[in-house]
Chains A and B, each alone.
Chain A
């Protein structure tokens, strides 16, 4: 027999065994009559409610540094619970207060004053000061190579501490959406912290009690300013394989399985599990480098867009848990124009365009993809078949997930991308400006750059969104994207878990409002 066949089964057997042990433990430590728990008592006291969350993550790429790449969801979940952030994403796509209670820009929108709350303190008893915030932001800025220049537009050297609870942040260009750009990722650590191998005090709702390669145990931080979260304990279980997370939930080993494949929904619903759909979460765009033949010809790009049978792609790749998209990379962003006609599946026009571009006899391209996220390979395989109809032979190349994002992404002429709920402005900064660090479509348009700059200098929100919509129209017309649909993010939870966040981005990691009942 083949060894790789045995692996999933063995994993499942181990899992079931783990499930039994964990269930037994959970049985001892769950006492619903005392949801608040006893203050500061260790979790083993038997008076706490525990939430066990299976989240994507692999011990091999785990990191303790909250200012680095944030590639592991399990790490982000831990950071979101242990550290405070300046702002979080609101339901409307704007920013909501968290550690920062208020913010105010100057006239030119390139200097922002953030006021911090005064009752936040780290687990070592020290208050959270403006210096801690600036130190943390500067660390994020310094690690630009790891985090794709997340704060590249902030001029952190020229930012300064005004007083204990006020910080002034300078931006390199006018930046009207600065509070959103800072949302959910600005994890604040004590000033001077550079070493994260040991225990680092945080000011978030939980603190780390126990940390191991694949399981982290957090206990409630009773000194947190934001009230008393319901779960007294949160166990974060990092499981790389989505199906393993589902199995862990169905066998009772965990209470929440984060980011699962749509194939898992049917079996979970049979067992009365809660299904949380976060719309517009997953996008697998096909990305064409506009500086490389044959994609340097706009007619070829248009033909490739017309070749996509979007309904078939959404129904197959996301099993219908998603929506058709219109070649705009962030269809759920508040700035996305709604007046553009939906680009339809039009084989005939596509063939004509290819012929005009000199490819009447057909065209052979390689479409790169990987298995990093469920369905990426399926999407590419199906789209390659759809391209056949317009006379394009697309050879699918499934690359190892390990180095796809360094050797294929933003390098090969034609490849499958992934967005997990990024905002339009963020995407523009990291991937669409002429000088972007990872210009994924090799897009160089002065008009686009200028339009974005102007939008970011506009304080009126409606006007700003209109300017951003304009540059998206240009992208719709001329960009290097085939954005055929968005898939729902799907989390599964046991029936007693309520109020899991359902926003598209990192806000799903802020689970301090979750209630356990029944």
Chain B
């Protein structure tokens, strides 16, 4: 299980790097999907098959499809790819990159100093336990997430509503039309 974990982790990191450096938007999204799949394998290796399956179904299978959907509509061509590549000039990313590496070093040192005693053994956690946890100690978080989703749903319904003129406008227009004819 450790081999699976580290392999998947390396794949995830490498794929994410390619997401940033890839000039073609759809190819970048494909790397992102690969990265999410690798994260799912990481979850599985850590003994969370339920989370792994949800990662694939929700993130890789649904949300990323919408991303691809939108990017496909944007009509990228060789020209935009070229422009994207010109934006990836080293003088643009060298500074932030170095600073980011410093931060990464700090985090690595900080994490390395902590002895948590955790190890990867792949003991699976089944769906029943997750359910008990979610609707037990974490019920408030679940409900909050539900609120957010409900709000999103209301907004989507509002945005997708058919545009109709208010009643008084309609009656005025009808009167005008009646006079005309």
A and B held together in a complex: no
